[in-house]
Amino acid sequence: DTEGRFLAVNAEFQRAFGVNYEALIGKTDFDLSRYEDAVQYREDDEEVMKSLSPIRHEFLSTSVDGTRS
């Protein structure tokens, strides 16, 4: 949503973070990722909402528990 909360996630996202669907809904990147990563994700989300154009980034992410994916 416009506040950065997850409204839906796919199976790969659930696997990557080791959390089931119900536990992810309503969370934000700040709940799941390192602060530095979450800031970048949020900036990307805001750019997409502003421009109405998709962007694509591929990079490693580190979850709150230190897992890299």
pLDDT tens, residue by residue, 13-69 = 898 888 899 999 999 999 988 899 899 999 999 999 999 999 987 777 666 677 776
Model pLDDT, residue 60: 74
What per-residue confidence (pLDDT) applies to 69?
67
Q: What is the pLDDT of residue 50?
A: 96
Distance CA 46, CA 20 (A): 26
Q: For residues 6 and 51, give the distance between their C-alpha atoms in angstroms, rounded to a whole number.
A: 20
pLDDT value for 16: 81
pLDDT at residue 47, rounded to an integer: 95
